[in-house]
Structure 1
Amino acid sequence: MSLLQKLKSHGVLHSLEIGFNRVVPAWCFRFSVGTVYALNVEHLNRRWDESECDRYAIKRVDDSAERDELRKITWNSVPVDTTVGHYGYAITRADEPGKTIGGVWGGVRQFNEADLGFQIELEKEQALIYCAYVAKEARGEGIYKRLLPYAAHDLNSEGYPNLVVMVQPWNKASTYIHRKHATRTIGSVAVVRVFGLAMVFCTGGISKSKTCTTGLLSAPVMIHIR
């Protein structure tokens, strides 16, 4: 893919972010902004009921070894001990069951963004969609359009009818598909981390326990999404 094609696909700001993160060491500085959307679970359930997945196989991943593999594929760096009870989903082509071409996670109870020093405390019936991924060779096939409704349907059946997702606004592809399935924009979260100091700022229906922390893992900023 040419540089121009990458800019069109990812968006200029997202491409700049990728380049910046490759140059500046993660331990030194990080900046991130996320827009939080409430997803339309009823709509996603209907999409799943009406979908035809003969060419693909989607499943919830429960086996520990398969979950570890899905973490690697989806670049899920959330500390393992904080993801107990989280739901992982994988999609393969029906004729290649051993090759995962996409995945996504549904976080419940809590979601810890250790690198940025904050932790989302999720409500009883609330789940967070995170770490969505589609393999390069499968992009353009509508993989996530199948995977997201499946995950929403399964999470709803497990008692989590309130789904939220946090998307970086300069990620054009992710913003487009999640806004398409959203009922409303809840607010946003912005984080600046300089060495071991993280500063968290929230807007809209998102609250926080404090603004700054130096305990990225031991004393993260607690965030609630209403």
Structure 2
Amino acid sequence: MIKEEIKVYEDPNALSKGFTEFVLKLLDVYPHINLALSGGTTPKVIFDYWAENCKESIDWNRISFFWGDERCVPPENVMNNFGMTKDHLFDKVPSIPNNNIYRIHGENEPEEEALWYGTVLKSKLMQKQDMPSFEIVMLGLGDDGHTVSIFPNQIELWDSKDICVIGEHPETGMQRVTISGKVVNNSQYVVFLATGKNKAEKVRDIIKNRKEHLNKYPAAKVNPKRGYLYWFLDAEAASLL
């Protein structure tokens, strides 16, 4: 049975504050947090919130930053998740140690990078059942039901035995290095972050009718085996619940 909690906030800024309080509470429990970041509009709002409000209130030495997925483009490309995080967070909070940042190199050959990043995660993270385990994984929810970079047409990648796999956008064909579902579900706190009316239908489908969509949407397969699933939603994303 999924250990699940749903938190609804008035708007993305209030959600950012709520998620920050969540992270701070976990920092009271864990001496160090390994955090898998995601791309997208909601994390961008959170990173802006951190840069503006949390330069001193968060002990940045106690957080290591990783990525759940990365588009296979160089950091200077506007679609690169690390580049977005750098612009909105790292460049604005100089107290974040560079040696706490472990990016996926989107400019490298995808298969080689997936193997390399898998070794990084294996060496830096706690291992549970022979797979890496993050303290926190931030997840986005695509309008098509994808999460990390595992799309519905490649849903079999979710159960890959590999730590990292190569996802491919079904329309653009752009490749992405992504952690597999086994890593997501092996983590302690898995957090969906969703804002806006365009997310409401999929939020409803997955929370209310998860079993019906298990073989359709990768996001429906999120089920932390020994951890907890949280939903941080704004009022619009939660409007159909």
Same fold per superposition (TM over 0.5):
no
Q: Pick the structure with more helix per residue.
A: 2
Q: Which has the higher contact order (CA 8 A, sep 6+)?
A: 1
Q: Pick the structure with more strand per residue.
A: 1
Greater Rg, structure 1 or structure 2?
Answer: 1
